[in-house]
Protein backbone atom coordinates (compact mmCIF):
# COMPACT_ATOMS: atom_id res chain seq x y z
CA UNK A 1 0.00 0.00 0.00
CA UNK A 2 1.18 3.51 -0.86
CA UNK A 3 0.24 6.50 1.28
CA UNK A 4 0.61 10.23 0.75
CA UNK A 5 -0.15 13.21 2.96
CA UNK A 6 -1.19 16.74 2.03
CA UNK A 7 -1.62 19.96 3.98
CA UNK A 8 -4.23 22.64 3.48
CA UNK A 9 -4.71 26.09 4.97
CA UNK A 10 -7.57 28.55 4.72
CA UNK A 11 -8.77 31.69 6.44
CA UNK A 12 -11.87 33.82 6.13
CA UNK A 13 -12.96 37.12 7.58
CA UNK A 14 -16.02 37.43 9.82
CA UNK A 15 -18.93 39.53 8.51
CA UNK A 16 -22.12 40.58 10.29
CA UNK A 17 -25.07 38.17 10.37
CA UNK A 18 -25.22 34.48 11.18
CA UNK A 19 -25.25 31.59 10.93
CA UNK A 20 -21.61 30.66 10.47
CA UNK A 21 -21.03 27.67 8.20
CA UNK A 22 -18.06 25.58 9.36
CA UNK A 23 -17.29 21.95 8.61
CA UNK A 24 -20.67 21.76 6.87
CA UNK A 25 -22.48 22.76 10.07
CA UNK A 26 -24.47 25.98 10.54
CA UNK A 27 -23.41 27.50 13.85
CA UNK A 28 -25.91 30.00 15.27
CA UNK A 29 -24.58 33.45 16.12
CA UNK A 30 -24.19 37.00 14.88
CA UNK A 31 -21.39 36.52 12.32
CA UNK A 32 -20.69 34.45 9.22
CA UNK A 33 -17.54 33.86 7.18
CA UNK A 34 -17.27 36.15 4.16
CA UNK A 35 -16.14 34.69 0.85
CA UNK A 36 -17.09 33.83 -2.70
CA UNK A 37 -18.59 30.56 -1.45
CA UNK A 38 -20.26 29.84 1.90
CA UNK A 39 -16.87 30.64 3.48
CA UNK A 40 -16.48 27.19 5.03
CA UNK A 41 -12.77 27.38 5.82
CA UNK A 42 -12.71 23.86 7.33
CA UNK A 43 -14.07 22.32 4.12
CA UNK A 44 -11.70 24.46 2.02
CA UNK A 45 -8.61 23.49 4.03
CA UNK A 46 -9.50 19.78 3.81
CA UNK A 47 -10.16 20.08 0.06
CA UNK A 48 -6.76 21.68 -0.49
CA UNK A 49 -5.07 19.00 1.64
CA UNK A 50 -6.76 16.26 -0.42
CA UNK A 51 -5.75 17.79 -3.72
CA UNK A 52 -2.26 18.45 -2.41
CA UNK A 53 -1.76 14.85 -1.29
CA UNK A 54 -2.80 13.59 -4.74
CA UNK A 55 -0.67 16.17 -6.55
CA UNK A 56 -3.91 17.29 -8.20
CA UNK A 57 -3.64 21.06 -7.98
CA UNK A 58 -5.58 23.24 -5.57
CA UNK A 59 -9.08 24.40 -4.74
CA UNK A 60 -8.78 27.72 -6.58
CA UNK A 61 -7.75 25.94 -9.77
CA UNK A 62 -10.44 23.26 -9.53
CA UNK A 63 -13.33 25.57 -8.64
CA UNK A 64 -13.10 28.88 -10.47
CA UNK A 65 -16.77 29.52 -9.62
CA UNK A 66 -16.80 29.31 -5.85
CA UNK A 67 -20.28 30.58 -5.17
CA UNK A 68 -21.31 27.10 -4.14
CA UNK A 69 -21.69 24.65 -1.29
CA UNK A 70 -18.25 23.83 0.09
CA UNK A 71 -19.19 20.30 1.16
CA UNK A 72 -20.21 19.63 -2.45
CA UNK A 73 -16.82 20.99 -3.55
CA UNK A 74 -15.19 18.58 -1.10
CA UNK A 75 -17.21 15.66 -2.51
CA UNK A 76 -16.13 16.64 -6.02
CA UNK A 77 -12.48 16.69 -4.93
CA UNK A 78 -12.86 13.23 -3.34
CA UNK A 79 -14.31 11.96 -6.63
CA UNK A 80 -11.38 13.53 -8.53
CA UNK A 81 -8.71 11.87 -6.40
CA UNK A 82 -10.54 8.54 -6.55
CA UNK A 83 -10.24 8.61 -10.36
CA UNK A 84 -6.48 8.84 -9.73
CA UNK A 85 -6.65 5.68 -7.62
CA UNK A 86 -6.55 7.30 -4.19
CA UNK A 87 -8.88 6.88 -1.25
CA UNK A 88 -8.91 8.98 1.91
CA UNK A 89 -7.44 7.32 5.00
CA UNK A 90 -8.00 10.10 7.54
CA UNK A 91 -8.31 13.85 7.98
CA UNK A 92 -7.22 16.05 10.87
CA UNK A 93 -8.16 19.74 11.17
CA UNK A 94 -7.26 22.49 13.60
CA UNK A 95 -9.48 25.57 13.71
CA UNK A 96 -7.79 28.66 15.16
CA UNK A 97 -10.45 31.07 16.40
CA UNK A 98 -11.41 33.04 19.48
CA UNK A 99 -15.02 32.14 18.66
CA UNK A 100 -17.14 30.13 18.13
CA UNK A 101 -16.25 27.35 20.56
CA UNK A 102 -15.47 24.39 18.32
CA UNK A 103 -15.92 21.64 20.92
CA UNK A 104 -19.68 22.18 21.00
CA UNK A 105 -19.93 21.49 17.26
CA UNK A 106 -17.14 18.95 16.87
CA UNK A 107 -19.25 15.80 16.59
CA UNK A 108 -21.67 17.36 14.09
CA UNK A 109 -18.74 18.49 11.91
CA UNK A 110 -17.05 15.08 12.11
CA UNK A 111 -20.26 13.39 10.94
CA UNK A 112 -20.76 15.72 7.95
CA UNK A 113 -17.09 15.67 6.92
CA UNK A 114 -16.80 11.89 7.31
CA UNK A 115 -19.83 11.41 5.07
CA UNK A 116 -18.29 13.65 2.39
CA UNK A 117 -14.89 11.93 2.65
CA UNK A 118 -16.25 8.36 2.64
CA UNK A 119 -14.89 7.78 6.15
CA UNK A 120 -16.28 6.97 9.57
CA UNK A 121 -16.41 9.85 12.09
CA UNK A 122 -13.60 8.19 14.03
CA UNK A 123 -11.31 8.78 11.04
CA UNK A 124 -11.98 12.53 11.05
CA UNK A 125 -10.63 14.87 13.71
CA UNK A 126 -11.68 18.49 14.32
CA UNK A 127 -9.86 20.45 17.01
CA UNK A 128 -10.34 24.02 18.20
CA UNK A 129 -7.69 26.40 19.52
CA UNK A 130 -7.70 30.08 20.35
CA UNK A 131 -4.83 32.33 19.29
CA UNK A 132 -4.37 33.54 22.89
CA UNK A 133 -5.75 36.93 21.89
CA UNK A 134 -2.86 37.66 19.50
CA UNK A 135 -3.04 39.22 16.05
CA UNK A 136 -5.99 39.27 13.65
CA UNK A 137 -7.42 36.02 14.99
CA UNK A 138 -7.09 37.32 18.52
CA UNK A 139 -8.94 40.50 17.58
CA UNK A 140 -11.79 38.39 16.25
CA UNK A 141 -11.41 39.55 12.64
CA UNK A 142 -11.76 36.01 11.29
CA UNK A 143 -10.57 32.46 11.72
CA UNK A 144 -7.96 30.14 10.21
CA UNK A 145 -7.89 26.40 9.58
CA UNK A 146 -5.07 23.94 8.99
CA UNK A 147 -5.82 20.44 7.68
CA UNK A 148 -3.75 17.33 7.05
CA UNK A 149 -5.17 14.52 4.93
CA UNK A 150 -3.62 11.13 4.27
CA UNK A 151 -4.50 9.16 1.15
CA UNK A 152 -3.89 5.49 0.46
CA UNK A 153 -3.69 3.44 -2.71
CA UNK A 154 -3.56 -0.34 -2.94
Q: How far is the CB of 17 from Mg ion (least distance, A)?
A: 18
Give least dist CB 154 to Mg ion, A: 32
Q: Which of residues 3-42 bind Mg ion (CB under 5 A)?
A: 10
Q: Which is nearer to Mg ion, 44 or 89 (CB)?
A: 44
Q: Is residue 48 at the binding interface for Mg ion, with CB under 5 A as the rule?
A: no
Tell me the three state secondary structure of residue 49: helix
Select from 32, 44, 105, 106 the one that contacts Mg ion (CB under 5 A).
44
C-beta separation of 61 from 94 below 8 A: no
Number of residues that bind Mg ion (CB under 5 A): 2
Hey, is 96 helix, strand or coil?
strand
Q: Which residue is nearest to Mg ion (CB)?
A: 44
As measured in angstroms, the least distance from the Cβ of 85 to Mg ion is 27
Distance CA 16, CA 7 (A): 30
Single out the residue of 40, 111, 33, 48 nearest to residue 71, CA to CA: 40
Contact 62, 76 (CB under 8 A): yes
Binding site for Mg ion (CB under 5 A): 10, 44
Amino acid sequence: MTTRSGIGYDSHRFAPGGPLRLGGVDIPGDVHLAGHSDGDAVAHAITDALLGAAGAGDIGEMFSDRGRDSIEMLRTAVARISTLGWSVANADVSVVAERPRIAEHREAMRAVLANALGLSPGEVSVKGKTNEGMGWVGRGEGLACIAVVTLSRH
